[in-house]
Structure 1
Amino acid sequence: MTGYVDIAASAAGAGLDIFGGFHPEPGDGAPDGTGTLLLLGPREPGFWAIVTAAPEWRDGAADPLDRWSVRVVGRLARDIGGHALFPFGGPPWHPFYPWAVRSGRAFASPVTLLVHDTAGLMVSYRGAIALPGRIDLPAPPGASPCESCAGRPCLAACPPRALTARGYDLPACHAFLDTAPGADCLSAGCLVRRACPVSQAYGRLPEQSAHHMRLFHR
């Protein structure tokens, strides 16, 4: 069976990183017969240039990023004898949040969003690959990056206080985005996600964040 290093290299060639993996147990919600589950996210810097040059982005049809993910993750999965899973297009809906936490590389942040050890609060998952056999996986970091973040700037970054330790006030977020000060979030991405020191080192372009914000706040 193809090993982790080879899979990571193939994913990198497609603009993706392995954002974590684990060996599922009963109750994890993985498909029956899964020996290893790998989570895939954007490889930065460079992801957005790859996606926006792809045929899905140029054909004018809806959901270009999701369609790109289906094609690219699906091909990666087939090449290594696995099965592609996605956080969209359900039902069935796959439990990506618990899977991310299960991998040991993503954690609940002080503002309740997932925070990843390399992507910070900019973490997103384009898909997962379920493999029938067990492959050796790198040891996860074991601790959330928030534990060593002295200032925790995410807690004070949201002007309408829509994202706090109490959770997410969705109406307050949308209401703020309708105001002039909210234009910064719409054009460059959520201020809370951008405040995370790990996010700032990740290399995600404002254009990508703006794309997601347009879909979120139609």
Structure 2
Amino acid sequence: MTFSRDAVEEIAAALAANGLILRGGFSFGDDEVAPAGPSGAPTRSVLLVGQAGAAPWPHFQRWLERQARDIANPLDSWSREVIGAVAQEFGARAVSPSDRPYLPFQQWAMRAEGLKPSPLGILMHPTYGLWHAYRGALLFEDELSLPEVHEAIHHCDTCVEKPCLKSCPVDAYSTEGFAYQACLAHVRGADGKACRNGGCLDRNACPYGAEYRYAADVQAFHMAAFAGA
């Protein structure tokens, strides 16, 4: 069975009710090892689910108001609930980037949208810049009718100044990679207030997709999760 374009559009409409969007997709080749689909048979096609900017934030906040105060990983829980409901409606298996064992979400995302990583490790999107995320994926045992994927414009290739590597006071990001412990200590420390309240300074320094930049309270939420606050 092959899912039609109309079915994919119905899935997109169901996700849009919670501020989520489809982030491309692809089909596994016959010679590839694919994860299990909803019945346990190999997956044939994948649709990535995510966000552009902070569109899901109001939906998530309304959901959060109804939850217990001590709920762990609330954004992951909300994402699983919303994407899981769509998966059930359309006969798919919902998976999350935080599921164990980890699935290769970044590789899937690059394959689905033709993106490449920025110096910060976040995939650079030609429209959204660094202000987007992948919240989950839908795995189908049927073939999906999907458009051909083309490599996207990669702004980092033409960005000479690289402000994303010059704004962090502890040089957390460099050509050597991410200095996790230095970043964590700074964010938790007395000098990390700007990062805690307004988000990563390196990420905010990137000029691309600025109109999709998360509001300060959204960035503060993510920084608190990172810092274990």
Same fold (TM over 0.5): yes
Mapped to 2, the partners of 1:99 and 1:18 lie a distance apart of: 13
Q: Number of residues paired by the alignment?
A: 217
Q: SS in structure 2 opposite 1:110?
A: coil
Q: How high is the TM-score relative to the length of structure 1?
A: 0.86
Q: Which moved more, 1:20-29 or 1:34-43?
A: 20-29
The reply on whether 1:24 has 2:34 as its aligned counterpart is: no
Mapped contact 1:86–1:128 kept (Cα < 8 A): yes
Cα gap change, 1:20 to 1:13, in 2 (>3 Å): same
For residue 130 of structure 1, the aligned residue among 139, 147, 156 is 139
For residue 48 of structure 1, the aligned residue among 42, 51, 57 is 57
Q: How high is the TM-score relative to the length of structure 2?
A: 0.82
Mapped contact 1:56–1:67 kept (Cα < 8 A): no
Q: SS in structure 2 opposite 1:124?
A: strand
Q: Which residue matches 2:83?
A: 73
Write out aligned runs for 1:6-155 (5 A): 6-25=10-29, 26-27=31-32, 29-31=34-36, 33-55=42-64, 58-60=67-69, 61-90=71-100, 92-132=101-141, 133-137=143-147, 139-155=149-165
Write out aligned runs for 1:199-214 (5 A): 199-214=209-224
Cα gap change, 1:2 to 1:82, in 2 (>3 Å): farther
Mapped to 2, the partners of 1:43 and 1:167 lie a distance apart of: 25
1:28 is displaced (CA, Å) by 6.4
State the Cα deviation string for residues 6-54 of structure 1 (Å, max 9, x = none). 3222222221012232222344654353222111112435321110101
The reply on whether 1:164 has 2:174 as its aligned counterpart is: yes
Unaligned runs of 5+ in 1: none
Mapped to 1, the partners of 2:219 and 2:172 lie a distance apart of: 18
1:123 is displaced (CA, Å) by 3.3
Unaligned runs of 5+ in 2: none
Cα gap change, 1:136 to 1:213, in 2 (>3 Å): same
